[in-house]
Amino acid sequence: MDKVRIKNDILAGITVAVVALPLALAFGVVSGAGASAGLWGAIILGFFAALLGGVPVQVSGPTGPMTVVFAAVVLAFPNDFSSVMMVVLCAGLIQIFFGIIDLGKWVKYIPYPIISGFMCGIGVIIIILQINPFLGAQSSSSIIYILTNLFDTLKNINYEALIIGLMTIAIVFFTPKKISKLIPAPLIALFIVTTISIIFNFDVLTIGEIPQSFPSFNLPFSFDVYRLSEILTFAITLAVLGSIDTQLTSVLVDSRMRIKHNSKKELIGQGVGNSLCSLFGAIPGSSATMRTVVNMNNGGTTNISGMVHAVTLLLIVLMLAPLASKIPLALLAGILFKVGIDILDYRFLKVITRISKQDLLIMFTVFFLTVFVDLIMAVGVGITISSVLAVYQMSKSTQMKTKTYKISVEDDDKHFDINIVKVKGSLFFGTAYNLDNTLDKLKNHSKVILDCKNIHILDISAIFKLEEIIQTFKDKKVELILVLKYRHKKRVLNIDKSDIFKNIKIYRSIDDAIDYIKKIN
């Protein structure tokens, strides 16, 4: 590796650390674990995810979505930080398992409306959670509490905190791009607004003391074993969310740098980093899109930049912790307002009037459940609705046509009618019932041909339904002749333990089935 490249990676890493500093502090505070936990999350995860990951320029640390879920974990386990860290440890181990089985490649199959609803919900949660500190009131992790007590909060505004918040918003939103490219707007706000607060001795809530030393090492094994299922549920949520966030950022890096990332290594690196975070009381995270883009834009090309970013943050903690303790919470609220607004999925929102009702239903359901009910339920319900709608669409595309054909036998003056039911599309649990209804309408025929050679899916539900239909027709003295592709015929015969399919005629073409009927008539 040449010297110029190493130099660029070091400078890019330092720049990313400057961007990450205010965000790490803010995410730590909003998580409920404290600013120090946010900084150490950025340091530990940032270093080990870069060292072991599969995306060369990826920068990892606390992110909005992961922080919101982690805050829910802290709320669920009050005064039980060991259980909270056990959630993080399990999440890290699950991510390592995801990496081993290469689960990252399956993320692309999650419907976009679910991701959009979840991300918009996370953005709104972050914004709502900042209302109290922005107005100088005590922070709360309950969305419902903040909204229901908003009138009382507005009656008791701390105007000094409000001034600090408004100055921060003015800086992070309106700093010219020429300046923000050189010095990140959140960092400008951090120094200017904190300095003003100290000089004028504003009576506002601040971050408080940040330990100027390494965090203590603790194994989080003293958790409540009776809440293990709850711990694992939160852990799976963190692991899946972190993996999705990481995969999305990795795809962005691929397109920008024209490379192909190693999803296995990346998830393993993220899992190791988050597991280690749990041993030092740090908050978990994932790859951070904005910090990764800053890294690329400033010349970062290898994993050295990500590790330098972590080391730089470590030096800041060890040297500047006393100054960071005086940062007003209203300032961090202003920065997080910008973060929440940036997380909103504008790509989806711009076309919201042009998309289907089904996609809108999924997106808004996930959004409202994310904000007002539960993050886990939101994703679960979203996937369930998407699956049901997908099955419905597949069932609509499956065609079942019944025609009556007049068949004549050449060597004999015989003519007779025969019913042929043609199925085209998918024959699975979503369409098996329709097939039953279609065949049930056939009357007064001794023989029926079921032409399934144009189906591409045949699942176990449909096979069992066919068994029931064959038996029903047999009881009515009606012979059912099947037309199946070779692979489908092989499958039904392999699972035919009751010899129902072995005792009927199965052909590979409709002509063979008709010839059989001609011979026996």
User: How would you classify residue 193: left for phi > 0, otherwise alpha for psi between -120 and 50, otherwise beta?
Assistant: alpha
What pLDDT score was predicted for residue 314? 92
Q: Which domains does the chain have, with CATH numbers?
A: 3-207+217-346 (no CATH), 398-520 (3.30.750.24)
- Whether the per-residue pLDDT at 472 is higher than 60: the answer is yes
Q: What is the mean pLDDT of residues 367-376?
A: 82
Mean pLDDT across the chain: 84
What pLDDT score was predicted for residue 414? 63
What pLDDT score was predicted for residue 408? 64
- Sorting pLDDT into bands at 50, 70 and 90, what band is 399? confident
- Sorting pLDDT into bands at 50, 70 and 90, what band is 100? very high
Q: What is the mean pLDDT of residues 25-43?
A: 88
Q: How far apart are CA 154 and CA 129, in angstroms?
A: 15
Pairing of strands 447-458, 479-483: parallel
- With 0-12 / 13-18 / 19 or more C-beta atoms within 10 angstroms meaning exposed / middle / buried, residue 177 is exposed
Q: How far apart are CA 295 and CA 8, in angstroms?
A: 10
- Whether the per-residue pLDDT at 345 is higher than 90: the answer is no
Give, for 376, the enclosing helix (H) or strand (E). helix 375-397
- Whether the per-residue pLDDT at 445 is higher than 70: the answer is no
The SS3 of residue 247 is helix
Q: How far apart are CA 341 and CA 332, in angstroms?
A: 14
Q: What is the mean pLDDT of residues 417-444?
A: 75
